[in-house]
Amino acid sequence: MWFFSKKYFNNSRIGFLAGCVFASTYAFIYIHAGRTGDYDALMILFMTAYCFSFFKYLNSAESKYCWWFWICLTLAAMTKGVAGLLLIPALFFYSLSERKVFSILKKGSFYTGLVFFLIIIGGYYFLREKYNPGYLNAVYNGELGGRYFSTIDAHSHPFGHYFNNMRSWRNNYWFYFILPAFVAGFVYRDRRIKKISLFNLLIVLSYWLIISLAKTKLEWYDLPLYPFLSLQTGILIYMILQALNNYLSTQTGKAIMAALLFSLVFFIPFRQTEKYIHHFREKPWDIEPHKQGYLLHDYIKKKKNLNNYVFCYEGYDGQIDFYIKKLQAEGTLVQLQNTVENISGRKMVVVSQEKLNNELVAKYAVEKIDARFGCIIYQLIGNE
Quick: pLDDT tens for 370-379. 999 999 999 9
What's the average model confidence in pLDDT over 284-296?
87
C-alpha radius of gyration, the chain, whole number: 26
Mean pLDDT of the 123-144 span: 91
d(CA 34, CA 40) in angstroms, rounded, equals: 8
| Sheet with 364-372: strands ordered across | 334-337, 309-312, 348-351, 375-383, 364-372
For residue range 337-362, list pLDDT tens digits in order: 999 999 988 899 999 999 999 999 99
- Integer Cα distance of 257 and 274 in angstroms: 25
Q: Is the pLDDT of residue 47 over 70?
A: yes
Distance CA 32, CA 27 (A): 9
Q: What pLDDT sits at residue 383?
A: 54
- pTM of the entire structure? 0.86
Of the candidates 354, 352, 340, 351, the residue with the CA atom closest to the CA atom of residue 384: 340
Contact (CB, 8 A) for 24 and 220: no
What is the number of alpha carbons within 13 Å of residue 335 lying toward its C-beta?
Answer: 15
Q: What per-residue confidence (pLDDT) applies to 16?
A: 96
The pLDDT value given to residue 147 = 79
Percent of the chain with pLDDT over 70: 99
What span, in angstroms and rounded, lies between the C-alpha atoms of 9 and 17? 13
Which pLDDT value is given to residue 332? 94
In tens, the pLDDT along 225-273 reads 999 999 999 999 999 999 988 888 788 888 898 899 999 999 999 999 9
Q: Which residues make Cβ contacts (< 8 Å) with residue 20, sequence separation at least 6? A: 234, 266
Each residue's pLDDT tens digit, 61-100: 788 999 999 999 999 999 999 999 999 999 999 999 999 9
Distance CA(30)–CA(175), nearest Å, equals: 16
Is residue 320 within 8 Å of residue 311, measured between CB atoms?
yes
